């Protein structure tokens, strides 16, 4: 009987530890999500900005494909 009580107590400890860590992880994920939800990635740049324009004119798809492989754009 005493051994069964010890096993039940150990099972309860593991269950409470697992539940506590799961709840902690859940609220940590909610906090991180809240932080990044307010982060605006696509704001217009401040100050003067210039759009980059390359001098490449695509005549056909082969030239465009070669340009892509050479420059990664």
25 in any annotated domain: yes
Q: Does residue 54 sit within a domain?
A: no
Residue 56 belongs to a domain: no
What is the per-residue pLDDT across 43-56, written as a single tens digit (0 to 9) for each?
A: 766 777 665 555 55
pTM (2 d.p.): 0.50
How does pLDDT run across 5-58, given as a tens digit for each residue?
Answer: 999 999 999 999 999 999 999 999 999 998 888 777 777 667 776 655 555 554
Full residue range of the structural domain in which residue 4 is found: 1-39
Is residue 16 domain-resident?
Answer: yes
Domain assignment present for 17: yes
Instruction: Looking at the chain, list the stretches that DSSP marks H as alpha helix, in order from N- to C-terminal side.
Output: 2-37, 61-71
- On whether residue 22 sits in a domain, the answer given is yes
The Cα 61–Cα 64 span in angstroms is 5
Structural domain tally of the chain?
1
Cα–Cα dist 72/64, whole Å: 11
First to last CA, the chain: 72
**Residue 23 forms part of a structural domain:** yes
> Is there a domain that residue 53 lies in?
no
């Amino acid at each position: 009987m005493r051994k069964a009580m010890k096993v039940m107590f150990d099972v309860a400890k593991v269950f409470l530890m697992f539940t506590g860590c799961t709840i902690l992880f859940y609220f940590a994920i909610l906090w991180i999500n809240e932080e990044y939800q307010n982060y605006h990635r696509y704001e217009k740049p401040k100050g003067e900005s210039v759009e980059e324009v390359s001098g490449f004119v695509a005549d056909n798809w082969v030239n465009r494909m070669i340009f892509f492989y050479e420059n990664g754009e």
